[in-house]
Amino acid sequence: MAVEDSSSSGSEQAWLQVVHTFIQKNLCSTSKDPCIHLVEAVVDCVKAIWASSGGTGGLYLPLSYSFVSVQELRTHQHLPCCSHLAWSSTEYQTWANKAGLDRVPLPRERLILVGTLTDLPGDLDPELRDGSLYVKDNSGTLDCELLDLNLSWLGHLFLFPSWSYIPSAWQRSLSGSGHLELLCPPVPVLPLGFNHDPETPIRVLYPEIAFHLLQHRSKFRRRQLHLAGQLVRLSTLVKTHGKTYFILSLGGPSSATTPVPIIVQIPSQLVWHHALRPGHSYVLTNLQISVIRGFSNRIWATGPSSHLMPLEPEHVQEFNVEELILETIPNLLPVPSSSQEHHNSIREVRMLSYKGTVTKVLNDSASLYELDGQLCLCLAYQQLPNNGRAIRPGAQLELQDVHFFQSVGGVPTLAPCLRGAVLLQGFSQQESLKQSPHSFCGVVLHLRLLLERHMGLPLYLWTARALEEITSKLCPHLLKHHQLLKSSASGTAGLGELLLAPTLDVLAPPGRSIRNVYQEIVEDPHHCPLQEYSLLQPPCSFPTLAALKEDAQCRAWATFDPMTLLPLTEVNHLPSYVLNARLAWSWVCLSPTFFQPPPVLLGVLVASSHRGWLQLRDQSGSLPCLPLPEPSQAFIDPRLIGSLVRLERFQLVVEREVKSTFPSWKELGIPGFIQERRTNIYVLFSLADALILPIHSPSSHHPSPRGPPQAKFPRLEGPPKGQSRLLLLSHKECLMKRNYQSSQGADPLPPKPTLSFHASGTWLGGIQRKEGNDWGLPEPLGDESQDQKVFLLFFGQSVRWFEFLHPGQQYRLIIHDSTFPGLLKEGDSSPLSQRILESTGFTSCLIVQDDWILEPGNPQGIPGMLGISQGLSESSLTEILNGSSPGSFVSFSAEILSRTRCVSLSGTTQQGNSQTSRYGVKLTVALDAADVASPIPIDVYIEAPHSPLPLGLLPGARVYFQHLEKKVSRFQNVYCRFLPSSYLRILSFPTEAPVSSSLPHIYLAELQGDSLGPSPASASCHVVSVLSVQLLWICAHCTSICVQGQCSRQGPPCPTQASVSQANIRLLVEDGTAEAVVTCTNQQVAVALGLCPSEWDSLMELVRIPGKVALHTTRAGAQSEVTSKTDDPLMFFLQTLCSSPSVLRPVFFTFELKRKPTRVMPLEPPRLHRFQFGEIPVLTRVVPRLSLSCLSLRDPEPPDILSS
Ligand SMILES: [Zn+2]
Ligand SMILES: [Zn+2]
């Protein structure tokens, strides 16, 4: 006996003693005597394998090896490993080298594993068997995979000479343990019983006949028959409705034989799936024809007494076919030719077989792999048992009957459906794990989407990619993987599914059709979801915010062309400071359709206390945003903060700011004159277009390592304590840096300006305290007559409320902490608030603390509080345009017509000595009033210190302004200034396609009188005379006259010698109803003079020599008087031209009133004019002529002769 071998050394004795104890504990069924024999058998088995390994080093026993139990592997082995008792180091090295140069092979442990091979999971009900294999000892069971199973091995004790152990990455999965990969056939510890050959040959049916019997069930319904044939098709193990089964098909030696399908659904027979190899021949005994629910045709099925055995021709005999056929199918032969058609149809769906090695896991949740470094393998359409856990990088596969796609998403792809077989041909040598810890819930989600929506492969691949994009955007800092991927237990969709649903509902609505398993596996012509192959235009993508911003920025600057931003007819008359100012600000609006595929915006809505903006945020960064509930409504609900926002419709705005020094229009093509470019990117969206999904933010547990910390909104969880008070907000001041101290220190003097804002309003009722889940009735006010006005001061963290607070809205201010019971009533008594009270005249002042909460106010339950709401106050048109009270405040809503950069008003006055001029924004907005024919433009100046500028101040947007200062310019025009105490709110975004309306055609008399006529408008007139012409060349830099192309400025010479031409002409026109003086400029002058472009250019070249030519005519009677010297040929030409019929002719022009509606000068009264009729002087009252600015000018259309 080995244990008592006298020649063994002490260490061997000790080793054997340990082995004895191990076997006693883990392998013996009882603790009695027979164990000695088992130990002996095991040790003999070990010795035999050890001796054959060639790496013994002269030892009889593998002393460096130790026995390991199943339980020890499960609990202590956290890293993948392998063990090879039968291999020498060289053999291991050869095997490990197959892993590849850049791959880590499985590390070798010296462990001996002995156990029983079984298909019974633990001590569970045998009916629960699902075809999985296990290794079992007294300590437990462990899942295992092997390449070729001999059914006679089941239930026997084996020593496993070579195996790998792969611990599970899915710690939360059901099994919670890893699995074994058995690399070599196991070695039986005790001799296996012999399979006796049957004494009498088995009478079998061959597939051809068996197939026909399926059509004629009646006589054979109860009869058990044996089938023999070659395995031509083996389906995967299918699990539906809690039942597991597989279908195999036996065929004949000729490919013309129609394969006959056999279903195996007896739990104890599912393990056959491991033993069956396509191409081999088998006998299956005691089969019956049966009808399976959900299957349209009859099928052969195994019974509890069925057996599987290899086909040995000497032990079988064909059933009496003659008798059978005559009995059942009188007109059978010859075999129908349908089988040939079946094979044709199989070819049509492009199925093939392939052998290859898995080189990469492309997406473990979506079951996507890379094969041989060049193919994509999608295993999602085939339910692999245990999710194909052995399919890791390095595993060798044989694929049979799989669909082949030349190019889906650019890569050739193999995808087996339930018909195809994925056979493991070799285990991986690599250490790499198949799954990431999160992939388990991902796999479930992918499968769920695939099955519920019956997706074809292109859509499935897109879905997998979209989920990958979403995951990388949000997990793990904003959302945990399981929050995104998991479906809730009640079967409702999880976040990931909800985010994809709007897109998928269009392409693949759920519940379209159910996959027919039988049809997919057995029937010809083949039918499965993988055949529905059509090229899919990616419906959308989920780019990271950083990538989207970068893309938008690139597109915006790619379209930035100074030449196209400014019309050429206009640009060549502009001096450089005008030119550069016009280029200083421009914007582009990119809608999702600008991108391919259109992006879906996805992020968590956060409020920034650093900029006061709202932002969408993902792991890559953030994007400022401006949401509007509906046009004209204010966004007041901060409870949306922290929610996930998904947007398909939005406007991505890119504002471009340029600092340039173009000397004149001629250099516009030279990018070197652009010194600085700045970009502001943000998004405008309507809440109605957004899918808003509330999430429980994990960020409190996992603070984002990047970016500034975001203001967190304390959430009301559970019944809140504390006090609250309703507030009607009447005014909010703008967000800017003010001299407050952000910390509540004792020193009231500010260390530096802090971003802050003020709001004021009125308390509605008294303090309310929490009663259960509701607020109690308001406490009675101490003094009803006391002023309930309150002044609120926000800085530091509380700046985050800025976007939610709007005048006219009700809010509830909530203070959780009840340690200051009188806070809301008495006001803050800090020195800062005392100072504010003194300077503002309010009776109470609150400094809003970081943990205070503002909610949309709901006055429900408070007597007398219902229906209090305040509209936006608007000043009347007279109040706005009346110039008598400059310095007063006005409020109005208007549409922005244009936005330009301007030098800040205060920047020039207060900081006149500063070299850097500060820039502000000039908005020209259109006031619309019911009693005026056309909108009245008015300028609003927002000066530089008001940083950050509000988002969405774009031409076409409607804005409400409150508390603007009204001013009158030195040209007597009314304009407005946005002050630190002013408020503005975007009412609606610019429409994506601005509607251009044609101008009204009028008679000039319509413009006379007190009412404001339509302007701009168009009119058809006759040119009566030319009042003046001025042609000049000016220096593009300093606008002095250039004589012979040289700037005439005295003092320091100009840095450039660029000159631009300018021209203006004043025409007296009449249309039979009234007269008007029209001023035309630049290019319009050429049209007015009736000159073609080349004639105009020649004329201007002649003007270059004197630098300026001016012709003034006065109209006294019918005489024109020229006030310039007439001996100059150029003057003579102009004079002649201006009195010729080529100028004095009918014209069609568009114009606007020169006197702006915002100009406060009273209308000129009719004045007395002296005329001389021969000797007699006549005094006549003359209505002042209309003064118009020309917008465009052309010859009238020739009258349509045919229609007259
Ligand atoms: Zn298929
Ligand atoms: Zn100059």
3-state secondary structure 1150-1172: EEEECCCCCECCCCCCCEEEEEE
pLDDT the model gives residue 349: 47
- 1000-1049 residue pLDDT tens: 888 888 877 655 567 678 889 999 889 999 999 998 888 888 888 888 88
Residue type, 525: P
pLDDT the model gives residue 847: 83
Tell the burial category of 1040 from Cβ atoms under 10 Å away from its Cβ (0-12, 13-18, 19+).
middle
Ligand 1 centroid – CA 526 distance (Å): 6
- The domains located in the chain, with CATH, are 10-188 (no CATH), 202-318 (2.40.50.140), 347-533 (2.40.50.140), 545-694 (no CATH), 723-742+753-777+788-856 (2.40.50), 877-903+919-988 (2.40.50.140), 1004-1194 (no CATH)
Q: What does DSSP assign to residue 687?
A: G
CB-based contact 976:939 (threshold 8 Å): yes
Question: In this structure, are strands 375-378 and 368-371 parallel, antiparallel, or unpaired?
Answer: antiparallel
In terms of Cα–Cα distance, which of 1058, 1061, 1103, 1101 is closest to 1081?
A: 1061
Ligand 2 centroid – CA 1035 distance (Å): 5
Tell the burial category of 108 from Cβ atoms under 10 Å away from its Cβ (0-12, 13-18, 19+).
middle
Ligand 2 centroid – CA 309 distance (Å): 105
Name the packing angle between helices 495-507 and 439-453 (round to 10°).
30
Q: Which residue has the tokens 């040995």?
A: 312
Ligand 2 centroid – CA 575 distance (Å): 10
pLDDT the model gives residue 536: 80
452-480: average pLDDT: 89
Ligand nearest to the CA of 1056: 2
Ligand nearest to the CA of 1042: 2
229 pLDDT above the threshold of 70? yes
Contact residues for 1171 (Cβ-Cβ < 8 A; gap 6+): 1117, 1177, 1178, 1179, 1180
Taking all residues of the chain, what is their mean pLDDT, rounded to a whole number? Answer: 80
Helix H or strand E segment including 897:
strand 889-903
CA dihedral sign, ordered 380, 384, 385, 388: negative
Ligand 1 centroid – CA 266 distance (Å): 25
pLDDT the model gives residue 491: 63
Ligand 1 centroid – CA 256 distance (Å): 21
CB-based contact 960:950 (threshold 8 Å): no
Ligand 1 centroid – CA 516 distance (Å): 11
CA dihedral sign, ordered 43, 45, 50, 52: positive
In terms of Cα–Cα distance, which of 609, 773, 638 is closest to 714?
A: 638
Reading the block at residue 1124, the tokens are 């310039």
909 pLDDT above the threshold of 60? no
742-752: average pLDDT: 53
Reading the block at residue 1160, the tokens are 């406060």
Q: Residue 466's CB: how many other CB atoms inside 10 A?
A: 21
Ligand 2 centroid – CA 419 distance (Å): 85
The length of the chain is 1204
Q: How far apart are CA 425 and CA 423, in angstroms?
A: 6
Contact residues for 1140 (Cβ-Cβ < 8 A; gap 6+): none
Higher-pLDDT residue of 6, 937 = 937
68 pLDDT above the threshold of 90? yes
203-225: average pLDDT: 76
pLDDT the model gives residue 327: 53
Ligand 1 centroid – CA 352 distance (Å): 11
Ligand 1 centroid – CA 507 distance (Å): 21
Provide the strand spans (E) within 179-221: 179-182, 187-188, 202-205
Ligand 1 centroid – CA 349 distance (Å): 8
Ligand 2 centroid – CA 664 distance (Å): 12
Question: In this structure, are strands 1186-1194 and 1075-1081 parallel, antiparallel, or unpaired?
Answer: parallel
Ligand 1 centroid – CA 446 distance (Å): 19
918-930: average pLDDT: 80
168-178: average pLDDT: 58
Ligand 1 centroid – CA 416 distance (Å): 7
Q: How far apart are CA 565 and CA 559, in angstroms?
A: 10
312 pLDDT above the threshold of 60? yes
CB-based contact 468:363 (threshold 8 Å): yes
Ligand 2 centroid – CA 1048 distance (Å): 7
Ligand 1 centroid – CA 1171 distance (Å): 102
- 883-898 residue pLDDT tens: 777 778 999 989 998 8
pLDDT the model gives residue 435: 61
317-332: average pLDDT: 59
Residue 83, CB-side half-sphere exposure with 13 Å CA sphere: 23
Ligand 1 centroid – CA 520 distance (Å): 6
pLDDT the model gives residue 547: 95
870-to-368, 547, 807, 891 alpha-carbon distances in Å: 59, 43, 8, 14
Residue 696, CB-side half-sphere exposure with 13 Å CA sphere: 6
Q: How far apart are CA 1014 and CA 102, in angstroms?
A: 79
CB-based burial, 279-289: b 16+ in 10 Å, e otherwise = eeebbbbebbb
- 335-371 residue pLDDT tens: 333 333 333 333 344 788 899 999 988 988 888 999 9
- Phi then psi for residue 918, to 5 deg, are -95, 140
pLDDT the model gives residue 1099: 92
Beta pairing partners, 204: 226, 318
625-640: average pLDDT: 83
Ligand 2 centroid – CA 1126 distance (Å): 29
Ligand 1 centroid – CA 418 distance (Å): 7
Ligand 2 centroid – CA 572 distance (Å): 16
Concatenating the DSSP letter of every residue in 525-566 gives S---GGG---------B---HHHHHHHHHHHHHHT--HHHHS
Ligand nearest to the CA of 1054: 2
CB-based contact 113:160 (threshold 8 Å): yes
Beta pairing partners, 768: 724
pLDDT the model gives residue 345: 37
pLDDT the model gives residue 256: 74
537-545: average pLDDT: 92
pLDDT the model gives residue 711: 37
Ligand nearest to the CA of 351: 1
Ligand nearest to the CA of 532: 1
Ligand 2 centroid – CA 910 distance (Å): 28
Tell the burial category of 865 from Cβ atoms under 10 Å away from its Cβ (0-12, 13-18, 19+).
middle
Ligand 1 centroid – CA 296 distance (Å): 18
Ligand nearest to the CA of 664: 2
Q: Which residue has the tokens 């020094």?
A: 661
CB-based contact 790:732 (threshold 8 Å): no
Q: In whole angstroms, what separates CA 234 from the centre of its chain? A: 42
Ligand nearest to the CA of 381: 1
3-state secondary structure of 122: coil
Reading the block at residue 22, the tokens are 């191990």
Reading the block at residue 507, the tokens are 């392409």
- 794-807 residue pLDDT tens: 888 888 889 889 88
3-state secondary structure of 75: helix
Question: In this structure, are strands 621-628 and 674-686 parallel, antiparallel, or unpaired?
Answer: parallel
pLDDT the model gives residue 509: 83
Helices (H), 481-544: 481-485, 495-507, 517-521
Ligand 1 centroid – CA 1132 distance (Å): 92
Ligand 2 centroid – CA 1049 distance (Å): 6
Ligand nearest to the CA of 1043: 2
Q: How far apart are CA 893 and CA 146, in angstroms?
A: 77
Ligand 2 centroid – CA 1045 distance (Å): 10
pLDDT the model gives residue 100: 78
Ligand 2 centroid – CA 853 distance (Å): 60
Ligand nearest to the CA of 1055: 2
Ligand nearest to the CA of 405: 1
Residue 715, CB-side half-sphere exposure with 13 Å CA sphere: 12
CB-based contact 684:989 (threshold 8 Å): yes
Query: Secondary structure of 917-978 in the HEC alphabet?
Result: CCEEEEEEEEECCCCCCCCEEEEEEECCCCCCCCCCCCCCCEEEEEEEEEEECCCCEEEEEE
Ligand 2 centroid – CA 1087 distance (Å): 29
Ligand 1 centroid – CA 403 distance (Å): 6
Ligand nearest to the CA of 1040: 2
Ligand nearest to the CA of 522: 1
| Low-confidence winner among 353-367, 467-481, 594-608, 1117-1131 (lowest mean pLDDT) | 1117-1131
Q: How far apart are CA 687 and CA 639, in angstroms?
A: 14
Ligand 1 centroid – CA 505 distance (Å): 24
655-675: average pLDDT: 88
Ligand nearest to the CA of 1057: 2
Ligand 1 centroid – CA 660 distance (Å): 63
Ligand nearest to the CA of 1037: 2
Ligand 2 centroid – CA 1051 distance (Å): 10
Ligand 2 centroid – CA 1033 distance (Å): 11
Provide the whole-model pTM.
Answer: 0.79
822 pLDDT above the threshold of 70? no
Reading the block at residue 114, the tokens are 């002995």
pLDDT the model gives residue 649: 92
Ligand nearest to the CA of 404: 1
Q: In whole angstroms, what separates CA 840 from the centre of its chain? A: 47
- 380-402 residue pLDDT tens: 998 888 878 888 889 999 998 89
Q: How far apart are CA 549 and CA 661, in angstroms?
A: 28
Q: What does DSSP assign to residue 457?
A: H
Q: Which residue has the tokens 């041989």?
A: 372
Ligand 1 centroid – CA 427 distance (Å): 26
Ligand 2 centroid – CA 1057 distance (Å): 7
Ligand nearest to the CA of 348: 1
Ligand 1 centroid – CA 289 distance (Å): 25
684 pLDDT above the threshold of 80? yes
Ligand 2 centroid – CA 1039 distance (Å): 6
pLDDT the model gives residue 887: 73
303-to-283, 284, 668, 875 alpha-carbon distances in Å: 14, 10, 88, 91
Tell the burial category of 703 from Cβ atoms under 10 Å away from its Cβ (0-12, 13-18, 19+).
exposed
Ligand 2 centroid – CA 1056 distance (Å): 7
Ligand 2 centroid – CA 971 distance (Å): 26
Ligand 2 centroid – CA 1104 distance (Å): 15
Higher-pLDDT residue of 1196, 1126 = 1196
Ligand 1 centroid – CA 468 distance (Å): 26
Ligand 2 centroid – CA 71 distance (Å): 93
750-769: average pLDDT: 80
Share of the chain above pLDDT 70, in %: 79
Reading the block at residue 257, the tokens are 């034989």
264 pLDDT above the threshold of 70? yes
Ligand nearest to the CA of 1058: 2
- 563-586 residue pLDDT tens: 878 877 778 888 888 888 888 999
pLDDT the model gives residue 616: 95
Helix H or strand E segment including 692:
strand 690-693
907 pLDDT above the threshold of 50? no
Higher-pLDDT residue of 908, 440 = 440
Ligand 2 centroid – CA 674 distance (Å): 21
222-249: average pLDDT: 87
Ligand 1 centroid – CA 402 distance (Å): 7
Provide the strand spans (E) within 76-154: 81-84, 111-118, 133-137, 140-146
Ligand nearest to the CA of 1045: 2
